[in-house]
């Protein structure tokens, strides 16, 4: 379990602060993560990597000369937001364009693609590489659906060395894609991992058993066996990977980089015992092991487990793999020390956005928006542990913490906006951006879209009536389904949002007040959330473990139903207060 923490929702931020304080020779903090603290060659490609926190030394530990130029760092097991990635990329850019590297997870894909679009609009040549090395997460015919685990290291190292050597953007992308095509990983776990503040691990493995094919976010394995001996485990790992020799290659005489990665609780001594047999098996297969890596390279808090990666080399890949690098968690050869980068801390400063003019009616609506967000915060705080438990059944268990971070940031942003005289639309926009930025992950992006869509509909000029709010909810549903590609029946929050949208619109069209229409729609939403228990997930990290989630509702659907009910309570309280005032007038 994770024993040392303060406030669980603040763990990621405090971890970054401590990491930078202890590794100032390599990195400095910027808004959204870290960048090199040393000067880079002008007009060269910058590699910016990233993902959720909780995997050290990925991703911040790989920032330094000869490796990444920056790392965007999300919440625990949640992708960084598009804003975080954008900020880090802007700070890391050397003038030769930015290559974004990340593991192939739904939230990362969404946020990194958003950031890529923003960077391109700024005139920066930006490309992406999503690592897909985990052979257990999808069949070979669907390699693009595979997730990225310890193979991140090979792709990032080769791409960074190419950038350092002055490769063009096109050539850097080509070598990164080639490295990804030649990297395969497979892992096992003996116990789950426990997020800070959680009472139970994200998943458990029966005593004496081993989960096969687990993910680094705590996703359960796809199979389960008796715990083997160290030699038997080595044989399982090697045999599995040798069934997937990259196209056009053969084992006999091939040169590979083997990486035996510890996931958090397996001791180095145990890894060495396993690698002893791995080395024998590789030699027996005719493979030449080049620069073996044994240790913790991509972890998962306290998970007891290990994975084996084989990186199949050619001459150029081998040269780039062996190129010098100096990062906090990965060093190779000797680099010529670069001068420290100048900086005055302004990279962390938040720019205070201007407040557009608003009518008195809209400012009054902003106060109601703040009350609604406060109610959402209270219900999320009260249910965060349960939301995490539901999410852990077939996912990564981060939903509760992510929702806490997002809604708290939204409330703070809305409170600031109201204090500065903002209208309802601007208040919702501020809250949307703060939620997406601080929560990260897929849910952060989606809730940010939802609040922004409602803000667009209500604006800063008119009262926040039922028609405007219903239009905003319809806009939120459309934006979310277009962005995330989920549809009703996929076991996502869309299964609640769509019936809620329809019920709210029907009530408003029938002449009901916003309070009454919202209340009836909230009841529909609650039932829809419960009904997701009978669905199989077709999107996101839960998809590979669909059967495990049968009988359990979707965490995103549950949190949305809780929030819309809590918001209705604020409407009802406000309506009751208005009635009392009128009666006493």
Query: What domains are defined for the chain?
Result: 8-332 (3.40.50.10440), 360-584 (1.25.40.340)
pLDDT at 72 over 90: yes
pLDDT at 563 over 70: yes
DSSP of 3-49: ---SSGGGHHHHHHHHHHHH-TTTEEEETTEEEESB---TTS-EEEE
pLDDT at 547: 65
pLDDT at 539 over 80: no
Q: Is 111 a catalytic site residue? A: no
Residue-level length of the chain? 585
pLDDT at 537: 79
pLDDT at 485: 83
| pTM of this structure | 0.82
**Which of 55, 69, 111, 217 is labelled catalytic?**
217
pLDDT at 360 over 80: yes
pLDDT at 338: 84
User: What's the angle, vertex CA 110, arms to CA 35 and CA 188, rounded to 5?
Assistant: 80
Q: Is 152 in a helix, a strand, or coil?
A: helix
Any idea which of 78-92, 204-218, 409-423 has the lowest mean pLDDT? 204-218
Q: Pairing mode, if any, of strands 46-53 and 70-76?
A: parallel
Consecutive H or E run containing 488 = none
Question: For the CA atoms of 531, 537, 541, 545, what is the dihedral angle to 10 degrees?
Answer: 110
C-alpha 436/C-alpha 448 separation (Å) is: 5
pLDDT at 546: 55
Q: Considering the chain, what percentage of its residues have pLDDT values greater than 70?
A: 94
pLDDT at 350: 54
Burial of 540 from C-beta contacts in 10 A (0-12 / 13-18 / 19+):
buried
Identify the CA nearest to 86 among candidates 119, 62, 59: 119
pLDDT at 270 over 60: yes
pLDDT at 583: 65
pLDDT at 572: 87
pLDDT at 463: 82
């Amino acid at each position: 379990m994770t024993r040392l923490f303060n406030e669980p929702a603040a763990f990621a931020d405090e971890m970054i602060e401590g990491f930078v304080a202890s590794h100032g020779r390599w990195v400095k903090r910027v808004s959204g993560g870290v960048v090199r603290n040393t000067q880079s060659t002008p007009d060269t490609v910058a590699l910016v990597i990233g993902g959720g926190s909780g995997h050290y030394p990925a991703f911040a530990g790989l920032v330094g000369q000869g490796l990444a130029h920056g790392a965007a760092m999300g919440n625990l097991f949640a992708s960084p937001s598009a804003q975080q990635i954008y900020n880090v990329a802007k700070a890391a850019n050397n003038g030769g364009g930015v290559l974004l590297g990340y593991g192939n997870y739904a939230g990362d894909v969404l946020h990194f693609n958003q950031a890529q679009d923003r960077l391109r609009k700024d005139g920066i040549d930006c490309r992406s590489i999503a690592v897909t090395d985990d052979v257990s997460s999808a069949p070979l015919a669907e390699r693009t659906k595979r997730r990225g685990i310890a193979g991140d290291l090979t792709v990032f190292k080769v791409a960074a060395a190419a950038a350092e050597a002055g490769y063009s953007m096109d050539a850097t992308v080509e070598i990164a894609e080639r490295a990804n095509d030649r990297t395969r990983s497979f892992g096992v776990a003996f116990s789950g991992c426990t997020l800070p503040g959680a009472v139970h691990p994200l998943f458990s493995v029966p005593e004496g058993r081993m989960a096969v094919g687990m993910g680094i976010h705590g996703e359960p394995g796809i199979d389960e066996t008796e715990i083997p001996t160290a030699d038997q485990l080595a044989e399982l790992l090697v045999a599995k990977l040798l069934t997937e020799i990259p196209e056009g290659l053969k084992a006999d005489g091939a040169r590979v980089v083997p990486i035996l990665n510890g996931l958090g609780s397996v001791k180095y001594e145990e890894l060495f015992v396993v690698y002893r047999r791995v080395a024998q098996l590789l030699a027996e297969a005719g493979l030449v092991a080049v620069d073996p890596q044994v240790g913790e390279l991509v972890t998962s808090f306290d998970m007891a487990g290990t994975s084996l990666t084989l990186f199949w080399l050619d001459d150029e890949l081998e040269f780039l793999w062996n190129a010098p690098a100096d990062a906090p968690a990965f060093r190779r050869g000797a680099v010529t020390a670069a001068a420290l980068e100048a900086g005055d801390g302004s990279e962390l400063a938040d720019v205070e956005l201007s407040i557009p003019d608003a009518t008195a009616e809209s400012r009054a609506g902003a106060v109601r928006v703040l009350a609604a967000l406060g109610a959402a915060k209270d219900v999320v705080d009260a249910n965060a542990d349960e939301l995490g438990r539901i999410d852990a059944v077939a996912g990564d268990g981060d939903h509760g913490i992510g929702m806490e971070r997002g809604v708290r940031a939204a409330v703070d942003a809305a409170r600031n906006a109201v204090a500065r005289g903002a209208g309802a639309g601007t208040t919702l926009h501020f809250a949307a951006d703060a939620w997406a930025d601080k929560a990260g992950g897929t849910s952060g992006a989606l809730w940010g879209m939802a609040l922004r869509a409602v803000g667009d509909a209500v604006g800063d000029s008119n009262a926040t009536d039922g028609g405007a709010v219903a239009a905003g909810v319809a806009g939120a549903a459309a934006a979310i389904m277009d962005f995330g590609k989920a549809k009703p029946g996929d076991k996502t929050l869309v299964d609640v949002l769509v019936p809620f949208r329809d019920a709210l619109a029907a009530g408003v069209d029938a002449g009901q007040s916003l309070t009454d229409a919202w209340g009836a729609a909230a009841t529909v939403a609650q039932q829809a959330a419960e009904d997701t228990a009978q669905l199989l997930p077709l999107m996101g990290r839960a998809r590979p473990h669909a059967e495990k989630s049968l009988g359990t509702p979707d965490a995103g659907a549950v949190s949305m139903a809780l929030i819309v009910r809590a918001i209705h309570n604020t409407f009802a309280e406000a309506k009751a207060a208005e009635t009392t005032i009128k009666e006493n007038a």
